[in-house]
Structure 1
Amino acid sequence: MLHFSRWKTTLIWLAVLAGVLFALPNFLTESQRASLPGFVPARPMTLGLDLQGGSYVLLEVDRASLVNDRLLGLREDVQLSLRNANIGFANLAEVNGGIQFNLRDPSQTAAARTALEQLTSPISSGLLAGGSVVEAELTETQPGSFRLALTEAGVNYRLSTAVAQSIEVVRRRVDELGTTEPVIQRQGLDRIMVQVPGLQDPARLKNLLNQTARLTFRLVDVSNVAQAVAAKQQPLPAGDELLMTTDEPAQPILVQRQVMISGESLTDAQAGFDQQNSQPVVNIRFDSRGAQRFGAVTQENVGRPFAIVLDDKVLSAPSIREPILGGQAQISGNFTVQTANDLAVLLRAGALPATLDIIEERTVGPGLGADSVAAGQNAGIIGGVFVIVFMLVAYGFLGLIANVALLVNVILLVALLSVLGSTLTLPGIAGIVLTMGMAVDSNVLIYERILEERRNGRSVVQSIDAGFHKALGTIMDANVTTLIAAVILFFLGSGPVRGFAVTLALGIFTTIFTALTLTRWLVSYWVRRQRPKEVPKGWISFVPHGTRIPFMAVRRAAFTITIALSLASVASLFVGGLNFGIDFTGGTVMELRSKAESADVAQIRDDLATIVEGDLQVQEFGSPRDVLIRFGTQPQDAETPQASVNAVRGALQADYDFQRVEVVGPTVSGELAWAAVFGVGASLLAIAFYVWVRFEWQFAIGALLATAHDVAMTIGFLVVSQLEFNLSSIAALLTIVGYSLNDTVVVFDRIRENLRKYKKMPIGEIIDLSLNETLSRTMLTAVTLVLALVALYGFGGDVIRVFVAPMLAGVLVGVYSSIFIAAPVLIYFKLRPETIRGGDKEADEAKPVVGTSPSRPTPSGTV
């Protein structure tokens, strides 16, 4: 495996060169990138919101309002269709989500069905869908009585169509803000994700997105008194609607339901100033058809008030003094310069086809983003230094080669993230540092195998060649298990968790390339040039050669301790419970920074006592100027989304800057909880299936039990520590699953090899032998990963710290489970029935050990 043809060498270094070129823009300033030649890549990675600040909003189409609007349209269609067919009807009304009516002449039943056939005919669901749906079904409840109801498929079709139309409207509105690289994507059937990096005013974004912007012009009913109708002193007149003005205080006003002209006829809207009083106004222009209609309406109703209605709120109701024939009009109201601009933006972008509710919001201030970048860079540099120094101490010159490969690994990973246009988040930085720690594992596997082959009497060249050859299968198995966890994490996760999964998955591919190709080429080149007489060794041997620890002798005690701790972890869920974050409970988290030298926590509690219902947590966070506020989902948010957040902003924004705001609705939190449970369970089963295919079913059970133990113990750690359990915690758990299986598979691979080598050795002794042979690799890999995680924990900032702490605990638990759970399970499930007696003490004492290798004696002791 040490021979490389010229074309292979060329391809390897072309790949490295390409990685350097594509990664280079990330280490240059914007001006330096602009001065690069045209053929040199100049696209850096996109920084996530947590690194550069900005807003993330998840919108959901209001299903109820969409259905109500569609039913209103169906009612008008039924009325028009029956009248055009000269069919008499009565009692036409919307009842329980359907349109009901009675025929005056039951003999016209067939004619009524024919007249309404167009409403019940299948409609195309689009070229891509490749089918059709029936939107409404007509049923005859009794002779002469009909009910027209929307189908589930019809509602879903309307939802899908509304989302597609809303995305374009939302995109136009966001583009009007002048932001760079907004991300607007569809999520599922009825949701839209909007991510705007670098946005300084998230409240303005929410106001723009939270309005339907349905503009209508209607005549005011002057024959009735609106105040009397509002006070229910007289009934609402037929054909009228009671709306409120935008004045302070709001005033009731009666307008006709009939829309004289709608905002769909607008061609332009610009903010300006009234020439008479210099107040901000919005100047609008209609298209030719709209101008004609507007002119006719104003000509016929001179002297009557004309209501300008936006989303069921009356902006103004001026009287028509004279016909407006030029197709231009002016909207006045209680506008400021910004609200006039925002209304113009809404009108230019067009109205949304349905109401969009904000069900999740995450906002990070630019200052906090800059702090996160600095913390992530420091953690990455310090973690890299830890790993590099450790490899030099452990393997000497071979460690130097490993460090070169590690540097190239990081460069290739950054290059891939840049080429794919991936967004780098704080968990993404954690993924890079974690990749550094785990990438060393492949080199450790190779180097330990080389040293082992050399101790068994092979020459230097033979040892190096055999080391790479025999480590190949183990490296592939170990990395595939981690890749499975990353893939499941990507498909079931969201936002930053997905960023971590992408980084981890790409890191696995770059690790395999650098370990099995680049490292092998560097070692091969060194062997050809130097012709060494001995394999280089490190300055310190962390695990002495020839250890003979009888692990299986204490397996029963280990199992007892394991069961007791696992039961205690499960019980702690019911006693203390996890400290669930808002990702799972719903609610709001705000991080504030005082404009003064210190924050007044007590005053904040007093200010919010009348705004926030239920549990309110206000605490110092980091420095004396920083405050963390947490509260659950508020009742007022059900009626008006974001009402509580807006109220808190209004109460505190004079004295505090809002560094971070996260709002998760109860719907999203419930979905995230189920996705988390399903993600962990699916990853466990998928990895167990892979181990079953690659080994035997006993190995799969051992891997499953060991990994489930690691998850349970890590959850117990989270209960005891009361660290916040959120989406990042799920990412940490799935990473632990991947790492634990990685470690377990390495041990299993050696057990399988020794089973083939020592066919008559008792299974307990084979397991002991395998554990001792891989102990050096297990400890070295754990130490390198712990060093990387310690750097993240100490220097990565508070957000990463919550993510890293359970991983640290999980790594330590993973080493224990690989030795004392996964391996002994092979004995209990009778991996080799004919030699299972070797796992019992009595059999060990009665039967001498045979079949051991002369160069590798069997560990002493009874098992």
Structure 2
Amino acid sequence: MRSGKVTYRLVVLLIAFVFGVIFSTPSFFQTQSGHKISLGLDLQGGLHMLLGVDTEVAIHSKIKSIAASINYYAKKEEILIDKLKAKDEIIEFSLIDADEAAKIDKMLGDINGLNVQKDALNYTISLNEAERLATIEYAIAQAVETIRNRLDQFGLAEPTVARQGEDKILVELPGIKSADDEQRARDLIAKAAHLQLMAVDDKRQNEAATMSVAQAQSYGDVIYPDVKDERYKYVLKEIPVLDGSMLTDARVAFSQQNNQPIINFSLNSEGARIFGDFTGANVGKRLAIVLDGKVYSAPVINERIGGGSGQISGGFSVEEAHDVAIALRSGALLAPVKLLEKRSIGPSLGAESIQKSMTALAGASVLIVLFMFVYYGVSGIFANIALSVNIILIIAFMALFGATLTLPGMAGIVLTIGMAVDANVVINERIRELLRDGASIKTAVAKGYENAMSAIVDANLTTLITVIALYAYGTGPVKGFAVTMSIGILVSMLTAILGTHGFFDLFMDKIEKSGKTRLWFGYKRD
């Protein structure tokens, strides 16, 4: 390789610079198009919430779902059962014909995690301890995933949803600035979105206004209010025909009769089969569409309904229909969540954090630039140019990957600046040591980079391992710090080592001819 020429090292640095400028510009100038960095809760303000999960409800929902499966199987196989009830954590029913016991026993044996007790033809079913714990664990994990999906579809930029402790969920929503937005987000998070299709007990519907809850339970029924007028009650069969676990899609549409928003939903193959079988066997009867314990409609079944699709109409506004559809699509919460702690961070506090962080960033950069120039001369300028490219590349990569910048993340950028310069400090000191020992300038530069490489790589590698561990086990702000640090470490290996070496390659002829080591390296050779 000839000295004094443009080498591949400088070409790589120039390509990195162009790449950085292209992908960091939208973030610096907040353009309408292009990838931009999202600001975290602490920088733009928003809502911080800590939620608790009511896991007991998940157990009850599991029990009801098993009861519905038993009811469907019994009807499909024409097995006569009596007094099927799902109460708290227990399912009870009686078998009419002892000859059918083998079929029921086989069906129950295929369901994992059940304790089945038989007293003659009377069955009592509950979950065993392992299945109970697994249901609770699944309910919490499902709540985290469901809330995250809902907020993503709601349109919030980079919400943080993470499990905290045994049964708590941390939710951070950047960009929530108005009370209306806050309330809408809270309603969407807390909405159970538990869809059930339930048979109306037409025989006892006329008694709905006077029937007590205890009376309804004695008949195997429940009483739910109408969504438009809670004074009007429906008497429904306690065991649902099917529930929202079989739902595959929910979309907002508009009714052809009155142009009001409605929600069209679709069921999976199992749900479609159950829905079709039920409607075919119950023509002339009513089927209630229940969402979160309220009846939205209870139409009469005129014919068998195939295709596995249905419709929910309930006087929605467009916004309400949109939010309900999001909740249905993302799945029902197996266990309801309750607000334990809420903290709002105003935009002004975020702006103040940004201002202080930018002041720290600018101050650190100026001091480093001055120090490098004064102490290392022109080689310090090379390091400063590489440092500028480093910062641009960090912003570019964060924008490209859709990363969220938090206050700890900005601290990570400031720290990365120091680490990037540290690599050049090591290199320049190695070059000066070789110059003191009498090596030629060209040899000192080549050997300086070679001798410094192992120390730089070892230091960066150990730091990278640390930040990977921080990202793996940390929460939101810690992850933000880890992301910026890891990007900064990898980028600095490119700019601080490859880039500055490229500048020496370009100016090597001029450096050797001048012989002014004080100007170029901050060290005057005797």
Taking structure 2 as the reference length, what is the TM-score of the superposition? 0.71
- What is the alpha-carbon distance in structure 1 between the residues aligned to residue 396 and residue 281 of structure 2? 63
Is 1:520 the counterpart of 2:501? The answer is yes
Shift of 1:237: 4.2
Which residue in the other structure is 1:23 paired with?
24
Give the partner amino acid of 1:48.
Answer: G
Is the partner of 1:497 in helix, strand or coil? helix
Give the partner amino acid of 2:38.
Answer: T
Is the partner of 1:536 in helix, strand or coil? helix
- What is the alpha-carbon distance in structure 2 between the residues aligned to residue 457 and residue 281 of structure 1? 88
Is 1:499 the counterpart of 2:480? The answer is yes
Which residue in the other structure is 1:64 paired with?
56
Deviation digits for residues 464-489 of structure 1 (CA, Å, limit 9, x no counterpart): 33332222211112111211110100
Is 1:74 the counterpart of 2:57? The answer is no
Give the partner amino acid of 1:207.
Answer: D
- Check the 8 A contact 2:10/2:499 in 1, yes or no: no
Shift of 1:255: 2.7
- Check the 8 A contact 2:376/2:521 in 1, yes or no: yes
Shift of 1:400: 1.8
Shift of 1:163: 7.0
Q: Relative contact order (alpha carbons < 8 A, sep ≥ 6): 1 or 2 greater?
A: 2
Which among 92, 101, 105 is matched to residue 112 of structure 1?
Answer: 101
Which among 181, 184, 198 is matched to residue 175 of structure 2?
Answer: 198
Shift of 1:401: 2.0
Is the partner of 1:331 in helix, strand or coil? coil
Is 1:421 the counterpart of 2:402? The answer is yes
Is the partner of 1:255 in helix, strand or coil? strand
Is the partner of 2:222 in helix, strand or coil? strand
Which residue in the other structure is 1:350 paired with?
328
Which residue in the other structure is 1:454 paired with?
435
Distance 1:82 1:262, change over 3 A: closer
Give the partner amino acid of 1:64.
Answer: E
Distance 1:285 1:390, change over 3 A: closer
- Check the 8 A contact 1:208/1:342 in 2, yes or no: no
Give the partner amino acid of 2:324.
Answer: L
Shift of 1:376: 3.1
- What is the alpha-carbon distance in structure 2 between the residues aligned to residue 27 and residue 265 of structure 1? 41
Distance 1:342 1:195, change over 3 A: farther
- What is the alpha-carbon distance in structure 1 between the residues aligned to residue 182 and residue 276 of structure 2? 36
Is 1:331 the counterpart of 2:332? The answer is no
Which residue in the other structure is 1:619 paired with?
none
Deviation digits for residues 608-645 of structure 1 (CA, Å, limit 9, x no counterpart): xxxxxxxxxxxxxxxxxxxxxxxxxxxxxxxxxxxxxx
Deviation digits for residues 743-784 of structure 1 (CA, Å, limit 9, x no counterpart): xxxxxxxxxxxxxxxxxxxxxxxxxxxxxxxxxxxxxxxxxx
Structure 2 matches for 1:286-435, cutoff 5 A? 309-313=290-294, 331=314, 341-343=319-321, 345-347=323-325, 350=328, 352-353=331-332, 354-357=334-337, 364-435=345-416
Distance 1:85 1:283, change over 3 A: closer
- Check the 8 A contact 1:43/1:418 in 2, yes or no: yes
Query: Could you list the runs of 5+ residues in structure 2 that have no partner in the other structure?
Result: 267-271, 304-309
Which residue in the other structure is 1:818 paired with?
none
- Check the 8 A contact 1:167/1:192 in 2, yes or no: no
Is 1:444 the counterpart of 2:425? The answer is yes
Report the RMSD for the aligned CA atoms in angstroms.
5.3
Which residue in the other structure is 1:241 paired with?
222
Shift of 1:491: 0.4
Shift of 1:398: 2.6
Distance 1:85 1:413, change over 3 A: closer
Is the partner of 2:517 in helix, strand or coil? coil
- What is the alpha-carbon distance in structure 1 between the residues aligned to residue 118 and residue 283 of structure 2? 46
Shift of 1:501: 0.4
Is the partner of 1:212 in helix, strand or coil? coil
Which residue in the other structure is 1:470 paired with?
451
Is the partner of 2:212 in helix, strand or coil? helix
Give the partner amino acid of 1:491.
Answer: A
Query: Could you list the runs of 5+ residues in structure 1 that have no partner in the other structure?
Result: 35-41, 122-133, 542-863
- Check the 8 A contact 2:431/2:445 in 1, yes or no: yes
- What is the alpha-carbon distance in structure 2 between the residues aligned to residue 435 and residue 490 of structure 1? 16
Deviation digits for residues 230-253 of structure 1 (CA, Å, limit 9, x no counterpart): 7x8x785423324567799x8695
- Check the 8 A contact 1:23/1:418 in 2, yes or no: yes
- What is the alpha-carbon distance in structure 2 between the residues aligned to residue 485 and residue 255 of structure 1? 60
- Check the 8 A contact 1:71/1:94 in 2, yes or no: yes
- Check the 8 A contact 2:193/2:328 in 1, yes or no: yes
Is the partner of 1:30 in helix, strand or coil? coil
Is the partner of 2:461 in helix, strand or coil? helix
- Check the 8 A contact 1:202/1:363 in 2, yes or no: no
Deviation digits for residues 389-438 of structure 1 (CA, Å, limit 9, x no counterpart): 22223323332222112112112222222333322222222111110122
Which residue in the other structure is 2:235 paired with?
255
Distance 1:525 1:79, change over 3 A: closer
- What is the alpha-carbon distance in structure 2 between the residues aligned to residue 164 and residue 367 of structure 1? 35
- Check the 8 A contact 2:90/2:124 in 1, yes or no: yes
Which residue in the other structure is 1:43 paired with?
35
- Check the 8 A contact 2:45/2:175 in 1, yes or no: yes
Deviation digits for residues 18-75 of structure 1 (CA, Å, limit 9, x no counterpart): 33333333333425xx5xxxxxxx4233333433445577888764333322212323
Is the partner of 1:350 in helix, strand or coil? helix
- What is the alpha-carbon distance in structure 2 between the residues aligned to residue 49 and residue 243 of structure 1? 40
Is 1:480 the counterpart of 2:461? The answer is yes
- What is the alpha-carbon distance in structure 2 between the residues aligned to residue 138 and residue 465 of structure 1? 75
Structure 2 matches for 1:678-693, cutoff 5 A? none
Structure 2 matches for 1:768-807, cutoff 5 A? none
Shift of 1:503: 0.9
- What is the alpha-carbon distance in structure 2 between the residues aligned to residue 463 and residue 267 of structure 1? 69
Shift of 1:386: 2.1
Give the partner amino acid of 1:416.
Answer: F
- What is the alpha-carbon distance in structure 2 between the residues aligned to residue 19 and residue 136 of structure 1? 55
- Check the 8 A contact 2:58/2:135 in 1, yes or no: no
- What is the alpha-carbon distance in structure 2 between the residues aligned to residue 488 and residue 268 of structure 1? 41
Is 1:535 the counterpart of 2:524? The answer is no
Shift of 1:345: 3.6
- What is the alpha-carbon distance in structure 2 between the residues aligned to residue 434 and residue 173 of structure 1? 32
Shift of 1:458: 3.8
Which residue in the other structure is 1:211 paired with?
191
- Check the 8 A contact 2:432/2:521 in 1, yes or no: no
- What is the alpha-carbon distance in structure 2 between the residues aligned to residue 453 and residue 139 of structure 1? 83
Deviation digits for residues 75-102 of structure 1 (CA, Å, limit 9, x no counterpart): 3433554677677777866588454667
Which residue in the other structure is 1:802 paired with?
none
- What is the alpha-carbon distance in structure 2 between the residues aligned to residue 138 and residue 235 of structure 1? 27
Identity among equivalent pairs (%)? 28
- What is the alpha-carbon distance in structure 1 between the residues aligned to residue 251 and residue 495 of structure 2? 58
Deviation digits for residues 502-534 of structure 1 (CA, Å, limit 9, x no counterpart): 110111111222222112222343332231435
- Check the 8 A contact 1:55/1:195 in 2, yes or no: yes
